[in-house]
Amino acid sequence: MANPPSATPPGNLDPRCVPIKLDRPIPVGDEIQYPRYTAEEQAVWRDLYARQVDLLPGRAADEFLTGLNALDLARDRIPALADVSRKLEAATGWRVARTPGLLDAHDFFSHLARRVFPCTDYVRSRAELDYTPAPDCFHDIFGHTPMIMHPRFADFYQHIGEAALACKDAATEEGLTRIYWFTVEFGLVRNRGGLRIYGNGIISSYGEVLHSLTDQVTKLPFEPAVVAATPYDIWHFQDTLFIIESFDDLADRFENWVRRKIGRLAHAA
């Protein structure tokens, strides 16, 4: 699991959870160089991938599994961000940028608004296989990018970035952050086969996958005004989640909320 762009960690600060304010452009697409990963880092990716991909059938959304299959991510080594970027660009016009860590909210949303996904290229330690509070490339690549292969979700994700940049007050910005959290990171969707996970904060976390569809979680219909008023705690398993009926429904409801709270965005003008 990783923090949302505006999350504030508790007192004993993990430095990976401190937002970074960019002072220069970050590399995008083919500009991204492949790091010199250690054998242990590559092994952590292999173990994370093998365990998670076995867990997701019957739990992950059809749209996520379709995107994962289309991306054809390497299972035995950490994928090159430049390769992932080329596949996203061909499918939905998105590209990947290499970020040094958790970005400042404005920088993060500015990239989304340009259809650029900021992605880390370092992987968690073996001690954090089940859970990490910090972003890492397994969360970013395995968790996020398959859904960006879905055209309707890819547009929704860009519109979140545009809406964040257009926010005029702190209350609306906080409401938008909560919508981001309960959709992009922790969303559920009703597929033909039943309730499924599409939020990447769940999908990239072994523990959250097992927890999210149980009766321990209160599951509510997705209504942006309700979601925007619902606080969350990033340091524990989620006890409330919201269900969308489809990605068309998600996009339409979000657009209506944005028009009421922020106004008409440039893409809709």
The answer to whether 159 is a known catalytic residue is no
Give CA torsion, residues 79, 83, 86, 87, to 10 deg: -50
Find the catalytic residue in 185, 205, 208, 212.
Answer: 185
Q: Are 140 and 120 in contact (CB under 8 A)?
A: yes
The answer to whether 204 is a known catalytic residue is yes
- The neighbouring-strand residues paired with 55 are none
Find the catalytic residue in 111, 139, 150, 159.
Answer: 139
Q: Are 81 and 126 in contact (CB under 8 A)?
A: no
The answer to whether 208 is a known catalytic residue is no
| Nearest by Cα to 71 from 125, 171, 147, 152 | 147
- Number of neighbouring beta carbons within 10 Å of residue 100: 12
Find the catalytic residue in 6, 110, 111, 144.
Answer: 144
CA 138, CA 120: separation in Å to the nearest integer?
9
Find the catalytic residue in 204, 205, 208, 255.
Answer: 204
Kind of pairing, strands 187-191 and 194-197? Answer: antiparallel
CA 72, CA 113: separation in Å to the nearest integer?
26
The answer to whether 139 is a known catalytic residue is yes
Structure tokens at 162: 């545009």
Helix (H, G, I), strand (E, B) or coil at 246: coil
Q: Are 212 and 147 in contact (CB under 8 A)?
A: no
User: Which residues are catalytic, by number?
Assistant: 139, 144, 185, 204
